[in-house]
Amino acid sequence: MMASILIVEDELAIAELQRDYFALHGFEIDICTTGTDGLRHASEAVYDLIILDLQLPGIDGFELCRQIRSMSEVPILIVSAKKEEVDKIRGFGLGADDFVTKPFSPSELVARAKAHLSRYERLLGNHKKEEDRAICIRELTIDKAARRVHVHGHEVVLTVREFDLLVFLALHPNRVFSKQELFERIWGMESMGDIATVTVHVRRLREKIETAPSNPQFIETIWGAGYRFTV
Ligand code: CA
């Protein structure tokens, strides 16, 4: 499968130069020219690598880097015209994987991207082997292979959808999902229901897994945004 890369760069000429080089090496490329658009793409699609310019209209590259990192472990490569900016982002510890200063050599950019892609593939490969291992978070243990859940060592019985919802959230810790997103991911096309069913399932899940369902420690409500599985 072709690796896909998101390029967030407001100078279209630079973005297109990057795209052409990556395309030559068999990558699939999406270009966004604003930080806002970049964030939307990064949250809606799955990329193998993200290349960020720092000075962007809307959300700048610093904030974008921070937000993408809070959602995923995807490699982030920063391209910046100013060395001081690179120093700054290093200092901020925003989770970027690499830095390239402009003007850059496109072949160097591609080489670095490839190095990060193979590192990331190894990381995902390792996760895959662990796919069937239990998820243990504080007093909660989720055995995905056996589809069993224990709280403080006691088994709790979940319905199929409750279990799927819990596993989905637990596999994406600390990330906020709207009810709509959860509905689409868990219930998908087969369901004629509405997103209120998400609220109902979250409530039942909390009653089963939370020590104090009215003050949930696992599935938190983020007002106006949705739910977050807090780790
Ligand atoms: Ca720029």
How far does the centroid of ligand 1 lie from the alpha carbon of residue 82, in Å?
A: 10
How far does the centroid of ligand 1 lie from the alpha carbon of residue 123, in Å?
A: 31
Residue 16 has pLDDT above 90, yes or no: yes
Matching fold, domains 4-126 and 132-229: no
Residue 106 has pLDDT above 60, yes or no: yes
How far does the centroid of ligand 1 lie from the alpha carbon of residue 24, in Å?
A: 24
pTM of the predicted model as reported, rounded to 2 decimal places: 0.55
How far does the centroid of ligand 1 lie from the alpha carbon of residue 113, in Å?
A: 19
CATH number for the segment(s) 4-126: 3.40.50.2300
Which pLDDT score, from 0 to 100, does residue 193 have? Answer: 73
Edge-to-edge order in the sheet of strand 148-151: 135-137, 140-143, 148-151, 154-156
Structure-token match 């390792």, residue found: 126
- Kindly list the domain boundaries of the chain, sorted by start residue: 4-126, 132-229
Task: Work out the mean pLDDT of the chain and round it to a whole number.
Answer: 87
Please name which of 103, 93, 38, 35 lies closest in space to residue 66, comparing C-alpha atoms. Answer: 93
- Which two three-digit tokens encode residue 48? 């193998």
The answer to whether the CB of 208 falls within 8 A of the CB of 158 is: yes
Q: What is the pLDDT of residues 174-203, one digit of tens each?
A: 888 999 889 888 887 666 678 889 999 999
Which pLDDT score, from 0 to 100, does residue 126 have? Answer: 58
Residue 109 has pLDDT above 60, yes or no: yes
Residue 221 has pLDDT above 90, yes or no: yes
Residue 133 has pLDDT above 80, yes or no: no
**Mean pLDDT along residues 119-145:** 75
Edge-to-edge order in the sheet of strand 98-101: 28-32, 4-8, 49-53, 76-80, 98-101
**Mean pLDDT along residues 120-148:** 76
The answer to whether the CB of 166 falls within 8 A of the CB of 142 is: yes
How far does the centroid of ligand 1 lie from the alpha carbon of residue 33, in Å?
A: 9
How far does the centroid of ligand 1 lie from the alpha carbon of residue 11, in Å?
A: 6
The SS3 of residue 92 is helix
CA dihedral 179, 184, 187, 189 (to 10 degrees): 150
Which pLDDT score, from 0 to 100, does residue 174 have? Answer: 85
- Which two three-digit tokens encode residue 77? 């490569």
The answer to whether the CB of 84 falls within 8 A of the CB of 59 is: no
CATH number for the segment(s) 132-229: 1.10.10.10
The answer to whether the CB of 26 falls within 8 A of the CB of 1 is: no
Residue 26 has pLDDT above 60, yes or no: yes
Which pLDDT score, from 0 to 100, does residue 50 have? Answer: 96
Which pLDDT score, from 0 to 100, does residue 190 have? Answer: 62
Which pLDDT score, from 0 to 100, does residue 72 have? Answer: 85
Residue 4 has pLDDT above 80, yes or no: yes
Distance CA 66, CA 221 (A): 22
Cβ count near 124 (within 10 Å): 11
Least confident stretch, 41-45, 131-135, 180-184: 131-135
- The DSSP-derived string for 191-217 is ----THHHHHHHHHHHHHH-SSTTS-S
The answer to whether the CB of 5 falls within 8 A of the CB of 42 is: no
Q: What is the pLDDT of residues 59-105, one digit of tens each?
A: 999 899 989 988 888 899 999 887 777 777 765 677 788 888 888 88
Cβ count near 63 (within 10 Å): 14
